[in-house]
Every structure is written in C-alpha cells, then in structure tokens.
Amino acid sequence: MTLSIAALIEQNAGAAEKRENLLADDLYTFRMRELPQLLDEIDGVLLQAGAGTDSCLAVECNNSVPSALLALALMRAGRSFILAPPSIAENDLKPVPRFCTHRIVVSSPETATVPAANCLRIEANPFYNGKPAVPEKLYLRTSGSMGVSKIVVHSHASLLGNARNVVGKYGFTAESRASIPVPLAHMYGFGAEFLAAVIAGSSIDLLDKTNVVKYLDRERRFNPDIVFVTPSLCEMLLTAFRKPRTQYQAFVTSGQRIGEELFRAFDQVVAGRLINQYGSSEMGATAACDFDDTLDKRATEIGRPMEGVELRLQPCPDTGSELYCRHPWGFEGYLDEDGEWIAKAAADGWYRTGDIAVKTAGGSMIVTGRADASVNRSGYLVMLSDIERIVEKLEGVGEVAVVAGKKETERGQSIAAFCVLRSGIVLDGTQVRRRCASLMPPYAVPDEVRIVTELPLLASGKLNRRALEALVS
Amino acid sequence: MEKIIDRLRHLVGEKLDLNLNPEEIDPDAQLIDGGLKLDSLSLVKLIALSEQEFKVEFEEDALSMESFASLRALAGVIGAHLNGRHSRPETATV
C-alpha cells in the first residue's frame, strides 16, 4: 500500500479514534480534525507570498506546530523543500541553497491567538539560480557540525516508507502520545518520530529548545508514552527524574552512541523501555533492538535491521570492518548549494555508514567507532578536520592539528588542539580557545589548546596523529 | 531572601562557565529563554549546584519552568523550603 500525506491527513481528521487527537506545542493545541483547514490556510499564505507550487522552499523550522503544519502542507501538495534548524540570530541568517526560490522562517508568536499560518515569514531568495524544482523531494542537511554540510535528497515516498518501519518497530497507534524534543529539522525528529506519529494518527507534542525543567513541565501536561531523545538528553533527564517512569511504551535514543553505563541507568528509570536506534540522515531508521531483547543486548548492539534493511561488514585493513547498509527507503544522493549532484547513492544501493563494527556470536553487530576522525559531542558528530579548518584561520596561528582525547567530558569525548604559532606571535592556549568559542558551537570548542613549536611528523612527512593522541591520553 | 539570591548569583557567576561577574547578574533576568540564556547543560548544573549549596533535594514538582524563571524565583522556592516544614536532618526536600 502506498502512503500519501494527503490521505493520512484526511484519515486522521475523519476517523473516530484519531480526530480528537492533539497536535500541540508550547503555545498551540489543535485537534487532528482541524488539520485539513489549517493546511489550506498555509497553502493560501504561500500562494499569496508568490511561493507557488512549482517553487522549492528553504524552511527554517523550530519544534513548533506552525513548522509541523508547514511541512505537512508541503508534503500534502507534493512540493519540495529543505528543512534546516533555525538561524541563531537575525543578523546571522543561515545560507539558503541557491536552488530554492524562497526562504521561510517560522517564528513563535507571543500568544496562540495569532493564526499558525501567520507565523511564516516568507521571502524570495535573492540568490535563486533559476533551477526548476523537482517535485516530491525532501532535502536535509547532513549533521555537519561546523556549517560545512551536504544536502541529502529523499523522496516523499521513501520518507514515508522509512517512517512506516518506525511505526511497526515501536508500536505507534492512534492511542500513542508522542513527545518530540529532538529537532524537527533532522531525519530523526521529522522522518522517524514525527512522520511515524502522523502515519499512526497519534497525538503529538513538540518541544522546542528542550531542557529538563521544560521536559518535566510538558510531561506532566501531555503524559507522553513515546519519546525520541538524544543520549545527552537522557543524561540530563537522569538527574531530573526523581521517581521511576512506568508510563512509557518506548524511550528511543539515537544521534550518537549512548554509553553503556548511561544506557543501563536510564533503562532502569524507564522500566526497561529504552531502545537505541541506529540510523543516519541518509538511511533514516536502520536498526534497533526489540523490547524483549536482554538488557545486555539493548545496551550494546545495534539490533535487528528495520524491515527490508540489509547490513554487512566489509573488512578494511586500517580500521577494522566497516558497516555497510542497503535500505529500501534510503536517500538518493547529495546535492551542493546549487542543486547539482555531488554524488548519487550507489547504484547497487549499498551505503558506507562510516562506522566500524564487529559481529557478535549471535549475529548482531556492535558499533565500535568511526572510520573517519570524528567525535560525538552533545549529540553532534564533530569532524576533527572541520575544527582544524577553523583554528588554522585564526590570526597568528600557523599550523594546527586536532585530536580526540581519551577523557570523557560533559559534552562527550575530549578534544585537544595543538597549534604552532606564526613567528613573532605571542598567544597562549586559553586565548586561542576563547577565539575558537566565538567561531564554533560550544560543543565543538576544543577542551584544551596547546601551543607547540612544531607538530610531530611521520617519516613520510605526514602528521603523526598517534604521537599527539599519546600526549593527551 | 536576598542572601539566597546573593549565593545563587555567586554559583551562576563562578561555577557555570558563563563569563559573568556575580555582581552584574540581575536576579530578575530570565534564566532560560532571554536574559542569562542558560543552555540545557548549564541548567542541569544549576540544579545540582543549588542542591549542594543549600543542602536541599528538589522534588520533581519543584523542577518547573516557573521555579527556574529567574534567580529570584529560584531563591523563593529554596527559601520557602528552608523556612518550611519539610526539613530532614541532612538533606531537605523542596
């Protein structure tokens, strides 16, 4: 059966067991039966702003009802759009891909008396390159943590196929109450949890800028039973949950590997309902353990592949075996900012995840690391080379090498930067670190910056990263 | 109350790595959305630091956006408890 958002919206609005279900956020609360009318209003606002059905839109979305309605309206009409997290500041707007005709910024009003459709600020993209929109695509930015990201292409059909797998895996139904504290602009929040809840006709509560006290406030009000979180949020909630939780059917975590100790502690608090989902922007939800798997399995293994998904290991001499994935609902490829293909997904469908994994005796897999040099910090995959690129542009800095340390910090694995200064420059590590803080997100700032006179090299003349890693271990 | 606020200002200024001088912190500034703009991690730290500093243990109901609206609001919650009836010998419950 082919799914369509248009049909789902109609079903959710009409079916007796779904029509009174909620779509809510900090401010708004709507019933599913109201959605067709609300989406019509959004269509009207888009048309009025000159964003016709042949335009491709860049949506800066927060976790709000207006954002969710906009995404549903666009999918209902088979329109193409890119979802991106909101710009941090008005005077520092994120770039809009040049193949998009318009930028839409979703704002949060002061009161719910403002119609949801009026929360959209629509402006023409002055750098639009004239490329015609390809219908029924969703574009997502890869989780490039320094703004160096590629654009992942999915079809609406593959998104819905992916989400349908999620529905079955965690048991979303019309009675489910799904809380979404993870960004709607990412595959995990939008493609996995939000669309799964829409397919099942569940009630949905969107949490923007989640913190523990906001989570607790909303948990008291909405009483969710399915929630997708990140390991960092698990860690924070662990300090805030002062009594065990038995109401949850599924507490799903993803986005980075969750530490085993944290998994076990959190699983106990949520009565054994914690599942670590394995996935990516490119492949969506790929694998997860089942609730009846043992705690040992759930805490360490990636679990059973989602329906139709195949996984295999490919031996690699330098790094161990790399994990490859073939997904019936995988991505189509990567675009650049002009809408030109950087790379198409492999013709045979196998995708290199970049993860190193080992097979267990039972045939499941455990991810043990990354093939490329990166660390997970506060839920973001941070490429060490991206940090190097920023630090080497600092005034006075000559060469730089960034390595991951062995220490665990509050934000994840530690990061250390080694800098060689230009001659005549006097700077200390603290000063360099402070400058880094103004140029990159807090989770990417190296925990330690050391000034050195030269970087250690191998006989080949290449940087000796192992020597630097030994210095910080 | 003012004493509690003062101790909270020092906690925020000195222990939260926000580059803020305790004397400059406005006790009525919003802690989260505007004002001091505590991120989620700093908020968790503030909860833990407050519990240590005042030897209290917040109950879940006290962990609300209202309690953490500003340092003054938080001081109110802590103060009400310290003067209240729920104290335990070592650790009190707010």
User: Cβ–Cβ of A242/B47 closer than 8 Å?
Assistant: no
CA distance B76 to chain A (A): 17
pLDDT range class, residue A90, cuts 50, 70, 90:
low
Distance set, CA B92 to CA A363, B49, B52, B82 (Å): 50, 15, 11, 8
Task: Give the closest of B32, B33, B41 to A410, CB-based.
Answer: B41
pLDDT(A147) > 50? no
Question: Torsion over CA of B2, B7, B8 and B13, rounded to 10 degrees?
Answer: 120
Q: What is the mean pLDDT of residues A83-95?
A: 74
Contact A352, A286 (CB under 8 A): no
Chain centre distance of CA A371: 20
Model confidence pLDDT, tens digit, residues B73-86: 999 999 988 887 44
Q: For chain B, how big is the Rg over CA atoms in Å?
A: 12
Task: Give the closest of A213, A410, A442 to B43, CB-based.
Answer: A213
Element (H, E) at A357: strand A350-359
Report the 3 state secondary structure along A397-408. Answer: EEEEEEEEEEEE
Chain B neighbors of A243, CB-CB under 8 A: 60
How confident is the model at residue A255, as a pLDDT?
62
Whole-number average pLDDT of chain B = 86
pLDDT(A379) > 90? no
pLDDT range class, residue A145, cuts 50, 70, 90:
very low
Model confidence pLDDT, tens digit, residues A288-326: 999 999 999 999 999 999 999 999 999 876 567 899 999
Model confidence pLDDT, tens digit, residues A327-353: 999 999 999 999 999 999 999 999 999
The burial class, CB within 10 Å (0-12 / 13-18 / 19+), for B82 is middle
For residues A372 and B63, what is the distance between their CA atoms, to the nearest angstrom? Answer: 40
How confident is the model at residue A143, as a pLDDT?
55
Which amino acid type is present at position B12?
A: V
For residues A269 and B30, what is the distance between their CA atoms, to the nearest angstrom? Answer: 31
For residues A31 and A36, what is the distance between their CA atoms, to the nearest angstrom? Answer: 10
Between B67 and A385, the more confident residue is: B67
* A residues 181-220 closer than 8 Å to B (CB): 209-214, 216-217
- Cβ neighbors of B3 (< 8 A, separation 6 or more) are none
pLDDT range class, residue A411, cuts 50, 70, 90:
confident
Structure tokens at A468: 């630097």
pLDDT range class, residue A465, cuts 50, 70, 90:
confident
* B residues 20-79 closer than 8 Å to A (CB): 32-33, 38-41, 43-44, 47-48, 58-60, 63-65, 67-68
Q: What is the mean pLDDT of residues A93-112?
A: 90
* Least reliable range by pLDDT among A14-18, A132-136, A453-457: A453-457
Task: Give the closest of B33, B59, B63 to A212, CB-based.
Answer: B63
CA distance A319 to chain B (A): 33
Structure tokens at B49: 């630091």
User: Cβ–Cβ of B60/A213 closer than 8 Å?
Assistant: no
Task: Give the closest of B39, B44, B64 to A239, CB-based.
Answer: B44
How confident is the model at residue A457, as a pLDDT?
79
Chain A neighbors of B60, CB-CB under 8 A: 216, 240-243
Q: Does any CB of chain A come closer than 8 Å to the CB of residue B14?
A: no
CA distance A236 to chain B (A): 6
pLDDT(A146) > 60? no
Closest CA to A314 of A356, A255, A270: A356
Q: What is the pTM of this model?
A: 0.83
Between A473 and A49, the more confident residue is: A49
For residues A274 and A252, what is the distance between their CA atoms, to the nearest angstrom? Answer: 6
Whole-number average pLDDT of chain A = 91
For residues A401 and A458, what is the distance between their CA atoms, to the nearest angstrom? Answer: 14
Model confidence pLDDT, tens digit, residues A244-303: 999 999 999 986 567 788 899 999 999 999 999 999 999 999 999 999 999 999 999 999
Model confidence pLDDT, tens digit, residues A108-137: 888 999 999 999 999 999 999 999 999 999
For residues A330 and A356, what is the distance between their CA atoms, to the nearest angstrom? Answer: 20
User: Cβ–Cβ of B44/A236 closer than 8 Å?
Assistant: yes
B55: alpha, beta or left? (left if phi > 0; alpha if psi -120 to 50): left
| Percent of chain A whose pLDDT exceeds 90 | 68
User: Cβ–Cβ of A233/B59 closer than 8 Å?
Assistant: no
User: Cβ–Cβ of A242/B43 closer than 8 Å?
Assistant: no
A378 to chain B: closest CA residue: B41
CA distance A317 to chain B (A): 39
A410 to chain B: closest CA residue: B41
How many pairs of residues across A and B have Cβ atoms under 8 Å apart? 51
Model confidence pLDDT, tens digit, residues A206-220: 999 999 999 999 999
Q: For chain A, how big is the Rg over CA atoms in Å?
A: 23
Structure tokens at A310: 């195949």
Q: Which residue has the tokens 């890119």?
A: A82
CA distance A293 to chain B (A): 31
pLDDT range class, residue A87, cuts 50, 70, 90:
confident
Backbone angles phi, psi at A44, to 5 degrees: -60, -45
